[in-house]
Amino acid sequence: MKTRSKSEIVNEIERCGVVAIIRVQDPTAVRGVVDALAEGGLRALEVTMTVPRAIELIGEIAPTLPGDFLLGAGTVVDADTAHRAAGAGAQFIVSPVFRTEVIDAAHEDGIPVLPGCFTPTEIPSAWDAGADVVKVFPATSVGPSYLKDIRGPLPHVKLMPTGGVSIDNIGDWLRAGAVAVGIGSALLDAKAISTRQYSVIADSARRVVHNVRAAREGR
């Protein structure tokens, strides 16, 4: 992977339109999942800290990825973990919560951060604190209309809904104003992973890429 500036990484996340969230319990499956997502055309991936040996895995995988990849660390809730993930090769930090220490730590390491927020008060507060993109989480119970309502008074804030995003509704979120979406369980079929049927993951990734393109082309 090549070195990029914070703004270049954010621009690339927006261009991809999707951050694939890798949250599995078997660390030996991560490499296969990464390769399957890549085969399907996805280029922005996030390994969550709930994966056993997550930091170590990032360190192992990061140097092996092509230059057009983005590899991030997710479920980061403290500054120390953010620093360790960046040191291992993570190019962006994602958190389920808004903590200024995580924002500051990521920026100290020169990488963007996407903190999790939910309310119309949290979202601009995180943006003002330096968030590069605000992860709207959990988006499960609100739907794309909530995002559209938030963007009305806050059109300058970059939003990435996570939770409640499926392969089939990605277009709805993008049309509502999301710069990208985070998608995990809807993309990573647990049974396919457990049986190492990675072609299923690759096929799902292709559908995601197709639906992003279709939404952006107005189809």
Domain extent for 20: 6-213
Which pLDDT belongs to residue 219?
Answer: 73
Q: How many domains does the chain have?
A: 1
- Active-site residues, by number, are 46, 135
Which pLDDT belongs to residue 3?
Answer: 80
Spatial neighbors of 3 by CB under 8 A, at least 6 apart, are none
Residue 219 lies in a domain: no
Residue 113 lies in a domain: yes
Residue 48 lies in a domain: yes
Which pLDDT belongs to residue 1?
Answer: 59
The maximal CA–CA distance of the chain, rounded, in angstroms, is 47
Residue 51 lies in a domain: yes
Which pLDDT belongs to residue 85?
Answer: 98
| Partner residues linked to 183 by β-bridges | 20
pTM of the model: 0.97
Residue 163 lies in a domain: yes
CATH number at residue 155: 3.20.20.70
CA distances from 190 to 28, 96, 161, 187 (A): 14, 22, 22, 9
Local mean pLDDT, 10-residue blocks, the chain (219 residues) = 87 97 96 97 97 98 94 98 98 98 98 98 98 97 95 97 96 97 96 96 98 92
Owner of token pair 């396919």: 192
Buried b (16+ CB within 10 A) or exposed e, 190-200: eebbeeeebeb
By three-state DSSP, how is residue 204 classified? helix
Residue 57 lies in a domain: yes
Residue 1 lies in a domain: no
